């Protein structure tokens, strides 16, 4: 369990002064990273620090603009997943690369099933799959379909698949984010066994306590640069300081104002299997944070409040007026706006212009007798784009080519144009660079100062603590507790977030994962 | 068409470099470049191409596809697909003709009903998609079949005449501007207006761009989808009315496969099947490219088989050109936008060599087409155009051979086109012959009524017309060269009765509903059979002169009537299909009689699988048609009707 001394296995992989830019962003710059056989090397960094780009480079999805990648002492060019596979590099992404309709065995040997007389040798495929599953310590029928498995077991299948490729380097992107405590323990046992076998493992996690438990060395990324490399036993506060690079007070410029009348009241909100008896209030001028682990039901609740999804029981009231359930139009008319979790998939028309995106919510309002007042729309879009300081070449620029922060400003902007009283922000700064983050925090201050209310869902705990006037903590689909800004500390929130884990014995996640 | 907000991002860069506006327009719009290149190439290759009359012809020939495609543009922009537009167009035209002609409704009401039918069909597809959650492909595929079936049910399979006021829609305004072109332009402007200016139009881009984002922005996606498909249905109705007005009759089998042309036009015009991108001007250009190609290849006398190859290649190239343009535009535009310094590192010309390359390939395709043109070079300057209904049937292939032999012998240039059983394509081809100023035209009509207006156009230009195999209604035909179908039908009945000794139960396989050959052969057979009360017809179904269809239809009929003793098929192809279905019974316990005397048919008679065939002499027919056409071109007198004899060919009789 205790971190081992400096790993002494041979070096299998090294990145030297790697640089990678995307339109508008320098994702990585002079990044150095090395990996030895038989070690667990933790990549640590904030969202947007460049961890994903780094591992995508190792798996062949991106190529560096400059710098080089060295495998076994030889510089290589990874042009695609096949190249990485050939070198024994396997990656397990957060969103798994499994085909839900196919069986466990078919997924493990996807694209390279064992053959006999030109036909697929089903029996051999299934025995091989069973052997691999056994090695990763999961009991699963190789003929079971992936869609019928819970998240933890899907992850094990991914690992089995990586082993079947004889992977010498295994990259795991936040593997514990979706697991219960028990499952994390099981995963760690497998990771340690692989380490003993000499596999080099790149491990990404946001849970600092896991670093000491599983890691050997830590490389810290910040704003696309590799800041330093430290042993996994490093003190947690020190890790945070390295990761953030500044004190938290400066990063979250919250200026509280006196709370006014309740704008949004939710009572007894329930959807079977997702959330239960959720009730809270958001007042004018307030920022209410909604914290909790991934899968606690936070996004489900705010989407139901907004009318995007149905619910079974409970009420949603805006300014004293009850809202009909599952009716986005009514929520919008009552003054609620939702900035969704996944801005690209749910918030933006990527191949439409900035103007088009900004005017989307107000399109109906700008229509007279079926005709849209395009000039008025443009004028309004120009006004809000200036106010939010959206960095763009012009209103006609396609949103796809904006940086993440500017894209998010556009999503927020369309709700500002619609004059929403209550703004629900779901992961408002995910994948956004630090500068744009602070701009969004200032915008939140501006909104609450003018009497708007903000309900913010975020997995970024420092953000929740730094920006909220009150923090609601959800666990297993229920509000586990409420903390004032003074009471809310990392420990207090985490204590509430894992509440009920012992009771649930870790089975809850498995259930919901199988839905 | 007004500019669209979904603009090409590299326009700015071009401005910065001060490019000539026209050049920029071309470089920014792959489809327009392709059209310009195509027109230039055609003008160089054919002196008949770049005339006012011919360009108007191209407009008329593009109209129906363009109007259908405008409707499909809405659907594709909203990330859907509509396969039903061709069938819906035919249904609406049929409804118009049926209500106005057969039931005497006032024309304005009939037109209203036709458009309402289109909207209803579209709304039905839309409801299945929006509320029934069917994939658009499936829902509109179902509608394709339903609408086609309904138009056949209503019309009972035969074309219906259009009332005069509607037919005049196919005419010209002020003696030169064809009404279909006008309708096309008006619908185009309407489409541009809807897409750019209206709520529903902007919502189409939003839904097509990201349906979930649109929903979360308060757009009622399901209701709007319904509207989108209803609009497509309305446009299909207008297209159907224009199509029918050109042919002066509503054809239940019209516009088969037009949905694919419409989709091709939309995609050539730069729309993305993934949705969110597309505009009216692009679609118009797409439709014009298709029409220009067909028209030009007709004028160049390219073999009709090669025409299809060339058209397919150009569709692929036009879209390739546009994709290449976008790719070349996307990268630099993005980095430019991000750096916030317009013009820096912006290389709008970066894709130019690629574009030129692709354009060169388009030209090459056209030149290749020109090289493949029909074998018609000779010293004579007499030119004869022959528009065949189809070359998908050995009978017409034989007819073509006979015609070519005669033309070669007489030293006359013969331009053969293939209408692929599409009456409106045939109208285009006859129109193209007319504007080319050929000496005379031979029409082998897809449909006797529908050929009328185009032949009338030839009459107006003083070009004599010969009708081959089928007559032309409502127009002047110098000579009609036909087999005697009614007599042949009678002969078939007599021969079958002889072989069955006057007793038995039989099946009748009818030809394509609405064709004169099907009618006349059926009538002659029924007349002849009346003399033999011992023979009963137990099953009667159309199999559309098609061997494969006949195989299915016969197989099905045999399930109900396993012990038939005879089959009469209105052509040899169907007879051979029936023989296949009968297997070893054919020629032994079941007598199958065909019609036409095609090489396959005659061989089957020799082998004994067919009991007999009524042999037409297609080669003779083709020869006589050309001989008379040459006479007419020279102003020599001919007979009004030339009957080509038919004869019974039974086993052992040759």
Q: What's residue A502's pLDDT?
A: 47
pTM score, two decimals? 0.74
**Mean local confidence (pLDDT), A275-293:** 93
Q: Rounded CA gap, A295 and A117, in Å?
A: 46
Structural domains in chain B, sorted by start: 1-46+300-374 (no CATH), 62-284 (no CATH), 383-477+620-642 (3.40.50.2300), 485-616 (3.40.50.2300)
DSSP string covering A88-124: TEEEE-SS----TTSBHHHHHTTT---EETTEE-HHH
Q: Which of A7, A51, A47, A9 is nearest to A28 (CA)?
A: A51
Q: What's residue A313's pLDDT?
A: 95
**Mean local confidence (pLDDT), A56-80:** 89
- Reported ipTM: the value is 0.71
Instruction: Indicate the range of A174-188, A267-281, A338-352, B218-232 predicted with least confidence.
Output: A174-188
The reply to whether residue B340 touches residue A393, judged by beta carbons under 8 angstroms, is: yes
Q: Quick: pLDDT tens for B39-72.
A: 988 888 888 888 888 898 899 889 999 999 999 9
Residue B374 at interface with chain A, using a CB cutoff of 8 Å: no
A237: number of Cβ within 10 Å: 9
Q: Quick: pLDDT tens for A141-151.
A: 899 998 888 87
pLDDT for residue A134 is more than 50: yes
The reply to whether residue B277 touches residue A351, judged by beta carbons under 8 angstroms, is: yes
Instruction: Indicate the range of A164-173, A389-398, B365-374, B384-393 predicted with least confidence.
Output: B365-374
State the number of CA atoms in the 13 A half-sphere of A198 facing the CB: 7
E strand segments, A451-507 = 453-457, 470-475, 478-484
- A-interface mutation test, from B208, B212, B216, most A Cβ less than 10 A away: B216
Q: What's residue A511's pLDDT?
A: 37
Nearest by CB to B213, which of A24, A346, A403? A346
Q: Rounded CA gap, B249 and B255, in Å?
A: 13
Burial of B184 from C-beta contacts in 10 A (0-12 / 13-18 / 19+): buried
SS (H, E, C) A12-26: EEEEEEEEEEECCEE
Token pair belonging to B579:
């023989």
The reply to whether residue B218 touches residue A328, judged by beta carbons under 8 angstroms, is: yes
The reply to whether residue B337 touches residue A401, judged by beta carbons under 8 angstroms, is: yes
Q: What's residue B569's pLDDT?
A: 95
Q: Which residues of A289-318 are buried (b: 16+ CB within 10 A; e: fewer)?
A: bbbbbebbbbbbbbbbbbbbbebeebebbb
Q: Quick: pLDDT tens for A386-407.
A: 998 888 888 999 998 887 788 9
Question: What residues of chain A lie within 8 A of the CB of B213, using their CB?
Answer: 340, 345-349, 360
Question: Where is pLDDT greater, at B173 or B622?
Answer: B622
Question: What residues of chain B lie within 8 A of the CB of A419, using their CB?
Answer: none
Distance from CA of B203 to the nearest CA of A (A): 8
Strands B465-468 and B383-388: unpaired
Domain boundaries, chain A: 11-248, 250-513
Question: What residues of chain A lie within 8 A of the CB of B217, using their CB?
Answer: 360-361, 363, 414
Q: What's residue A462's pLDDT?
A: 80
The reply to whether residue B213 touches residue A347, judged by beta carbons under 8 angstroms, is: yes
Q: Which residues of A256-278 are buried (b: 16+ CB within 10 A; e: fewer)?
A: eeebeebbbbbeebbbeebbbeb
Residue A396 at interface with chain B, using a CB cutoff of 8 Å: yes
Contact B262, B236 (CB under 8 A): no
pLDDT for residue B249 is more than 90: no
Question: What residues of chain B lie within 8 A of the CB of A367, using their CB?
Answer: 198-199
Question: Where is pLDDT greater, at B315 or A424?
Answer: A424
The reply to whether residue A414 touches residue B336, judged by beta carbons under 8 angstroms, is: no
**What is the dihedral sign for C-alpha A454, A455, A458, A463?**
positive
Question: Where is pLDDT greater, at B376 or A89?
Answer: A89
Q: What's residue B26's pLDDT?
A: 66
Q: If pLDDT is split at 50, 70 and 90, which confidence band does B335 have?
A: very low
The reply to whether residue B209 touches residue A371, judged by beta carbons under 8 angstroms, is: no
Residue A314 at interface with chain B, using a CB cutoff of 8 Å: no
The reply to whether residue B213 touches residue A370, judged by beta carbons under 8 angstroms, is: no
CATH of A250-513, one of 3.40.50.2300, 3.40.50.10800, 3.40.50.300, 3.60.9.10: 3.40.50.300
**CB-defined contacts A:B, below 8 A:** 114
The reply to whether residue B218 touches residue A308, judged by beta carbons under 8 angstroms, is: no
Residue B212 at interface with chain A, using a CB cutoff of 8 Å: yes
The reply to whether residue B334 touches residue A401, judged by beta carbons under 8 angstroms, is: yes
Contact A303, A381 (CB under 8 A): no
For residue B555, what are the contacts with CB-CB under 8 A and spacing of at least 6?
Answer: B581
Token pair belonging to A139:
């009991």
pLDDT for residue B220 is more than 90: yes
The CATH fold assigned to A11-248 is Rossmann fold (3.40.50)
pLDDT for residue B601 is more than 70: yes
Q: Is A9 helix (H, G, I), strand (E, B) or coil?
A: coil
Crossing angle of helices B258-268 and B280-299, in 10° steps, is: 120
Q: If pLDDT is split at 50, 70 and 90, which confidence band does B24 have?
A: low
Compare all CA atoms of chain B with the CA of A343 and give the residue at the minimum distance: B213
Question: Where is pLDDT greater, at A428 or A509?
Answer: A428
Compare all CA atoms of chain B with the CA of A342 and give the residue at the minimum distance: B213
Token pair belonging to A326:
């599952």
Distance of CA B173 to the CA centre of its chain: 25
Q: Which of A387, A427, A381 is nearest to A408 (CA)?
A: A427
Instruction: Indicate the range of B16-25, B154-163, B528-537 predicted with least confidence.
Output: B16-25
pLDDT for residue A424 is more than 90: yes
pLDDT for residue A458 is more than 80: yes
Compare all CA atoms of chain B with the CA of A327 and give the residue at the minimum distance: B218
Q: Quick: pLDDT tens for B456-466.
A: 989 988 999 99
Burial of A450 from C-beta contacts in 10 A (0-12 / 13-18 / 19+): exposed
Residue A328 at interface with chain B, using a CB cutoff of 8 Å: yes
Which B residues in the span 318-337 are in contact with A, Cβ-Cβ below 8 Å? Answer: 333-337
pLDDT for residue B213 is more than 70: yes
Q: Rounded CA gap, A414 and B503, in Å?
A: 83
Residue A368 at interface with chain B, using a CB cutoff of 8 Å: no
Question: Any bridge partners for residue A265, and if so which?
Answer: A281, A317
Task: Write out the H or E segment, with its range, that includes residue B613.
Answer: strand B612-615
pLDDT for residue B352 is more than 80: no
Q: If pLDDT is split at 50, 70 and 90, which confidence band does B354 have?
A: low
Residue B219 at interface with chain A, using a CB cutoff of 8 Å: yes
The reply to whether residue B338 touches residue A345, judged by beta carbons under 8 angstroms, is: no
- B-interface mutation test, from A349, A391, A417, most B Cβ less than 10 A away: A349
Instruction: Indicate the range of B83-97, B116-130, B334-348 predicted with least confidence.
Output: B334-348
Q: Rounded CA gap, B425 and B255, in Å?
A: 10
Contact A217, A230 (CB under 8 A): yes
**Mean local confidence (pLDDT), A340-365:** 92
Q: Which of A260, A190, A371, A466 is nearest to B199 (CA)?
A: A371
Q: Quick: pLDDT tens for B532-555.
A: 999 999 999 989 888 888 988 998
pLDDT for residue A63 is more than 70: yes
Distance from CA of B145 to the nearest CA of A (A): 32
Q: What's residue A113's pLDDT?
A: 81
Q: Rounded CA gap, A322 and A330, in Å?
A: 10
**Mean local confidence (pLDDT), B115-132:** 97
**Mean local confidence (pLDDT), B349-375:** 56
Averaged pLDDT score across all residues of chain A? 86
Nearest by CB to B338, which of A364, A396, A401? A401
Q: What's residue B447's pLDDT?
A: 84
Question: Where is pLDDT greater, at A186 or A339?
Answer: A339
**Mean local confidence (pLDDT), B305-309:** 82
Averaged pLDDT score across all residues of chain B? 85
The reply to whether residue B213 touches residue A402, judged by beta carbons under 8 angstroms, is: no
The reply to whether residue A349 touches residue B334, judged by beta carbons under 8 angstroms, is: no
Residue B209 at interface with chain A, using a CB cutoff of 8 Å: yes
Q: What's residue B134's pLDDT?
A: 95
Phi, psi values for residue A161, rounded to 5°: -65, -45
Distance from CA of A424 to the nearest CA of B (A): 12
**Mean local confidence (pLDDT), A486-507:** 70
Q: What's residue B340's pLDDT?
A: 36
DSSP string covering B505-574: EEEEEE-STT-HHHHHHHHHHHHHHTT-TTEEEEEEEE-TT-HHHHHHHHHHHHHH-TT--EEEESSHHH
């Amino acid at each position: 369990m205790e971190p081992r001394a400096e790993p002494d296995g041979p070096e299998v992989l090294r990145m030297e002064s790697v640089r990678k830019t995307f339109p508008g962003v320098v994702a990585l710059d002079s990044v150095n990273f090395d990996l030895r056989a038989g070690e667990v090397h933790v990549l640590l960094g904030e969202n947007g620090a460049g961890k994903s780009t780094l591992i995508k480079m190792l798996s062949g999805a991106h190529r560096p603009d400059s710098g080089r990648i060295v495998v076994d002492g030889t510089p290589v060019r990874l042009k695609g997943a096949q190249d990485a596979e050939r070198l024994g590099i396997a990656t397990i992404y957060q969103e798994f690369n499994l085909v839900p309709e196919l069986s466990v065995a078919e997924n493990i040997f996807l694209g390279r099933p064992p053959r006999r007389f030109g036909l697929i040798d089903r029996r051999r495929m299934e025995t091989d799959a069973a052997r691999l599953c056994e090695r990763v310590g999961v009991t699963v029928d190789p003929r079971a379909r992936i869609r019928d498995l819970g998240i933890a077991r899907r992850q094990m299948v991914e690992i089995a698949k990586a082993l079947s490729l004889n992977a010498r380097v295994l990259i795991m992107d936040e593997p514990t984010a979706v697991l219960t405590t028990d499952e994390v323990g099981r995963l760690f046992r497998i990771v340690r066994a692989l380490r003993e076998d000499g596999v080099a493992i790149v491990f990404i996690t946001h849970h600092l306590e896991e670093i000491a438990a599983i890691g050997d060395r830590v490389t810290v990324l910040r704003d696309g640069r590799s800041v330093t490399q430290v042993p996994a036993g490093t003190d947690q506060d020190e890790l945070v300081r390295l990761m953030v690079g500044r004190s938290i007070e400066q990063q979250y410029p919250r200026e509280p104002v006196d709370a006014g009348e309740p704008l949004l009241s939710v009572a007894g909100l329930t959807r079977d299997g997702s959330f239960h008896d959720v009730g809270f209030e958001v007042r004018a001028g307030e920022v209410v944070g909604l914290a909790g682990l991934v899968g606690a039901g936070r996004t489900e609740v705010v989407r139901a409040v907004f009318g995007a999804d149905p619910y079974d029981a409970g009420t949603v009231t805006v300014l004293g007026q009850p809202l009909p359930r599952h009716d986005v139009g009514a929520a919008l008319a009552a003054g609620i706006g939702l900035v969704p979790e996944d801005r690209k998939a749910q918030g933006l028309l990527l191949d439409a212009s900035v103007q088009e995106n900004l005017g989307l919510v107000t399109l109906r309002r700008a229509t007279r007798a079926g005709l849209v007042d395009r000039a008025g729309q443009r004028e309004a879009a120009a006004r809000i784009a200036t106010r939010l300081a959206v960095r763009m070449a012009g209103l006609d620029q396609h949103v796809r080519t904006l940086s993440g922060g500017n894209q998010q400003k556009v999503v927020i902007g369309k709700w500002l144009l619609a004059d929403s009283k209550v703004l629900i922000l779901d992961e408002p700064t995910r994948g956004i660079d630090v500068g744009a983050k602070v701009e969004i925090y200032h915008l939140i201050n501006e909104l609450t100062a003018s009497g708007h209310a903000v309900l913010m869902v975020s997995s970024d705990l420092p953000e929740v603590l730094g920006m909220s006037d009150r923090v609601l903590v959800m666990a297993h689909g229920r509000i586990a507790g409420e903390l004032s800004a003074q009471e809310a500390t990392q420990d207090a929130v985490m204590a509430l977030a894992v509440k009920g884990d012992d009771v649930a014995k870790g089975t809850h996640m498995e259930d919901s994962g199988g839905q | 068409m007004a500019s669209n907000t979904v603009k090409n991002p590299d326009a700015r860069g071009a401005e910065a470099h001060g490019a000539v506006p026209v050049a920029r327009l071309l470089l920014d719009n792959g489809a327009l470049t392709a059209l310009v290149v195509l027109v230039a190439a055609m003008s160089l290759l054919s002196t008949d191409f770049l005339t006012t009359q011919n360009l108007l012809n191209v407009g008329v020939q593009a109209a129906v596809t363009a109007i259908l495609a405008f409707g499909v543009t809405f659907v594709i922009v909203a990330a859907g697909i509509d396969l039903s537009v061709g069938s819906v167009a035919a249904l609406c035209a049929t409804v118009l003709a049926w209500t106005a002609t057969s039931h005497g409704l006032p024309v304005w009401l009939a037109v209203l009903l036709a458009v309402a039918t289109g909207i209803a069909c579209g709304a039905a597809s839309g409801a299945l998609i929006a509320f029934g959650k069917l994939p658009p492909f499936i829902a509109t595929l179902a509608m394709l079949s339903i609408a086609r079936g309904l138009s056949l049910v209503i019309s009972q399979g035969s074309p219906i005449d259009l009332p005069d006021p509607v037919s005049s829609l196919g005419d010209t305004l002020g003696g030169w501007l064809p009404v279909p072109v006008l309708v096309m332009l008006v619908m185009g402007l309407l489409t541009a207006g809807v897409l750019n200016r209206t709520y529903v139009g902007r919502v189409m881009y939003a839904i097509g761009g990201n349906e979930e984002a649109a929903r979360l922005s308060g757009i009622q996606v399901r209701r709007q989808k319904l509207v989108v498909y209803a609009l497509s249905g309305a446009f299909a109705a207008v297209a159907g009315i224009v199509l029918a007005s050109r042919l002066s009759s509503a054809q239940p089998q019209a516009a088969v496969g037009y949905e694919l042309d419409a989709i091709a036009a939309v995609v050539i015009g730069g729309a993305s099947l993934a949705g969110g991108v597309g505009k009216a001007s692009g679609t118009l250009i797409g439709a014009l490219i298709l029409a220009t190609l067909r028209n030009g290849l007709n004028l160049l006398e390219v073999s009709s088989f090669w025409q299809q190859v060339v058209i397919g290649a150009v569709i692929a190239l036009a879209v390739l050109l546009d994709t290449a343009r976008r790719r070349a535009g996307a990268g630099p535009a993005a980095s430019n936008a991000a750096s916030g310094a317009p013009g820096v590192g912006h290389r709008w010309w970066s894709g130019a060599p690629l574009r030129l390359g692709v354009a060169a390939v388009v030209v090459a395709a056209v030149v290749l087409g020109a090289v493949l043109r029909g074998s018609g070079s000779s010293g004579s300057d007499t030119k004869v155009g022959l528009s065949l209904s189809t070359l998908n049937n050995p009978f017409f292939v034989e007819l073509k051979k006979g015609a070519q032999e005669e033309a070669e012998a007489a030293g006359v240039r013969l331009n053969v086109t293939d209408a692929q059983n599409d009456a409106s394509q045939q109208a285009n081809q006859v129109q193209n012959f007319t504007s080319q100023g050929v000496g005379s035209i031979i029409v082998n009509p897809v449909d006797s009524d529908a050929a009328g207006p185009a032949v009338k156009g030839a009459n107006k230009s003083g070009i004599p017309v010969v009708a081959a195999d089928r007559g032309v209604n409502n127009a002047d035909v110098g000579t009609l060269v036909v087999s005697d179908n009614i007599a042949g039908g009678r002969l078939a009945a007599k021969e079958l009765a002889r072989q069955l000794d006057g007793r038995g139960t039989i099946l009748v396989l009818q030809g394509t509903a609405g064709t004169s050959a099907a009618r006349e052969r059926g009538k002659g057979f029924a007349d002849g059979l009346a003399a033999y009360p011992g023979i009963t017809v137990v099953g009667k179904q159309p199999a559309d002169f098609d061997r494969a269809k006949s195989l299915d239809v016969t197989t099905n009929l045999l399930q109900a009537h396993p012990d038939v003793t005879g089959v009469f098929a209105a052509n040899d192809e169907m007879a051979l299909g029936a023989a296949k279905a009968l297997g070893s019974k054919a020629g032994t316990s079941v007598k199958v009689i065909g019609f036409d005397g095609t090489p396959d048919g005659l061989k089957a008679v020799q082998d004994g699988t067919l009991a007999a065939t009524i042999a037409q002499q297609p080669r003779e027919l083709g020869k006589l048609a050309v001989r008379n056409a040459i006479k007419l071109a020279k102003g020599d007198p001919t007979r009004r009707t030339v009957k080509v004899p038919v004869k019974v060919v039974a086993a052992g009789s040759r």
